[in-house]
Amino acid sequence: MPADRSALSPEAQRVLDAREAAIAELRLIDGQDRPINDHLVLRLAGARLYADNINLRVIAGEPVSATEVETAQSMIEAARDAVPKPPIKVEVAFVDGIVGICPKCRAHIEGYVAPPKPKEPPPVIEGNF
């Protein structure tokens, strides 16, 4: 890849921009940095470029079937779904005592001290000011 992007053709710049956007999108999904030639980057960037070309054809007034639009969208979704998702972490903490009173059964626990009641709001003064 040339160090100066202006040396690239407009088409090559478009492909490079699509790959960089795909890297950023995939990073949001699983938090991993990928090289520009990673197969998942190529898959998502290619699907996005295909969808962009369909949109350009629509703007130019060319006939486009609904199947093509649907195929492009399903390609993007399939590329996103191919990314391995990070495992979900669940932490369970056990506490001593009660944190609150059960809203369903209104259970009362011995030794429970209720939190202080909130302060009263200041009185409203009415009149013509």
What's the domain range around 73? Answer: 5-81
Specify if 88 maps to a domain: no
Q: For the whole prediction, is pTM greater than 0.85? A: no
Give the residue among 97, 98, 50 at the shortest CA–CA distance from 75. 50
Residue range 97-107, pLDDT digits in tens: 666 666 567 77
Residue 109 has pLDDT above 70, yes or no: no
Mean pLDDT throughout 54-78? Answer: 94
Specify if 100 maps to a domain: no
Specify if 77 maps to a domain: yes
Q: Print burial letters for 65-78: b (CB count within 10 Å at least 16), e (below 16).
A: eeebeeebeebbee
Total number of domains constituting the chain: 1
Residue 52 has pLDDT above 90, yes or no: yes
C-alpha–C-alpha distance, residues 98 and 113, integer Å: 9
When pLDDT is cut at 50, 70 and 90, the band that residue 46 belongs to is: very high
Specify if 29 maps to a domain: yes
Mean pLDDT throughout 102-128? Answer: 74
